[in-house]
Amino acid sequence: MSALPTDEFNRGFIEESARFIRSQVPVAPKLLIICGSGLGGLADTIEKPVTLSYDEIPNFPQSTVPGHAGELIFGTLSNVPVVCMKGRFHYYEGYSLQKVTTPIRIMQLLGIKGLIITNAAGGVNKAYQVGDIMLIKDHLNFFAFGGQHPLRGPNDPQFGARFFPMNRAYDRALLEVGKRAAAEVGLANHCHEGVYGIYSGPNYETVAEIKYLQLVGVDAIGMSTVPEVLVAKHCGLPVFGFSFITNKCVDSYEDAEEPNHAHILDVVQAKAKKLKNLVIKFVEHTSDQWL
């Protein structure tokens, strides 16, 4: 059995980060937006931005992946105080799942009331096209089937209960708002509802793995999101999430296409404006809920 990283279970460790952030930013955020690979541009829409670099914050992990700048952007969107994480952490970077998810707990201590989570993902569902978005209605946590969990270890009841439900992890009402917002920004014909699956990475999937994912009902595959959603749900935060489909997963040995991170970042860039508009509309429609 692997050793537990004890500092990450220590509330004082997280409180120290929260205290530092409080001393630097004038307004406490109500909503956390996590930007997926290449999606950091979502933060450009924030008004009166205040930037904190991850390396200034005590105990905060550092971004190591291209397309993840490593900055927190505080400000407002539709009058809602928000914080945008331009850069998230992944298990394949070498972080424990506890470390991957500490930002959620830090932000909860700062007073956030909800989470918007985004990612770049491969389209497993054959109907999905590059450039589509998938509103996340559920996930398949392959890590948990293997006994890997960010909440493994001592439970801190001040954050949440040891045993907690996940069957409504992706808020149904927020998902409906997301659908409406997508239609309003011209994405109706490129918008799906589906199941996100987590794969550890850092490699992309084999053909056999993609065929397996198709069989078990995964619509989009990535290397993130699930640990953060687990910790958000544990501490009672409503979650809205979407995947941006950056590549079609290869499910045939005859297909010579290969996924590539630089190309994935380019694909996100090409659709950046629409995705920003989607987030703006979503926050506009839900602002009352966070204030």
Ligand X SMILES: O=P(O)(O)O[C@H]1O[C@H](CO)[C@@H](O)[C@H]1O
Ligand Y SMILES: Nc1nc2[nH]cnc2c(=O)[nH]1
Residues in contact with ligand X by the rule CB under 6 A: 36-37, 65, 88, 90, 119-120, 201, 222-224, 261, 264
Give the separation between CA 240 and CA 247, rounded to whole angstroms.
22
- Is 224 known to be catalytic? yes
Among 5, 131, 153, 201, binds ligand Y (CB under 6 A): 201
Alpha carbon 121 to chain centroid, angstroms: 11
Q: Which residue number places its CB atom closest to ligand Y?
A: 122
**CB neighbours of residue 71 within 10 Å:** 20
Q: Which is nearer to ligand X, 65 or 250 (CB)?
A: 65
37 annotated ligand-binding residue: yes
Q: Which is nearer to ligand Y, 171 or 205 (CB)?
A: 205
Give the separation between CA 31 and CA 291, rounded to whole angstroms.
9
- Using CB under 6 A as the binding rule, the residues of this chain from 94 to 123 that contact ligand Y are 120-122
Q: Which of 28, 193, 209, 261 is catalytic?
A: 261
Element (H, E) at 103: helix 97-110
- Is 247 known to be catalytic? yes
Find the radius of gyration of the CA atoms of the chain. 18
Q: Which is nearer to ligand X, 32 or 223 (CB)?
A: 223
Beta strands in 78-132 (DSSP E): 80-86, 114-123
Q: Which residue number places its CB atom closest to ligand X?
A: 36
Q: Which amino acid is at 132?
A: D
**Which partner from the list ligand X, ligand Y, none does 249 bind, CB cut-off 5 to 8 Å by kind?**
ligand Y
- Is 59 known to be catalytic? no
Candidates 99, 223, 97; CA nearest to 149 is 97
63 annotated ligand-binding residue: no
Give the separation between CA 148 and CA 138, rounded to whole angstroms.
18
**Which partner from the list ligand X, ligand Y, none does 124 bind, CB cut-off 5 to 8 Å by kind?**
none
Answer yes or no whether residue 67 interacts with ligand Y by CB under 6 A.
no
Tokens 């979503």 found at: 282
Answer yes or no whether residue 77 interacts with ligand Y by CB under 6 A.
no
Helices (H) and strands (E) in the chain, counts: 8, 9
Residues linked to residue 35 through DSSP beta bridges, in sequence order: 86
- Residues identified as active-site: 37, 68, 90, 92-93, 120, 223-224, 247, 261
Q: Which residues are documented as binding site?
A: 37, 68, 88-90, 120, 205, 224, 247
Binding site residues, ligand Y, CB under 6 A:
120-122, 199, 201, 204-205, 221-223, 246-247, 249, 259, 264
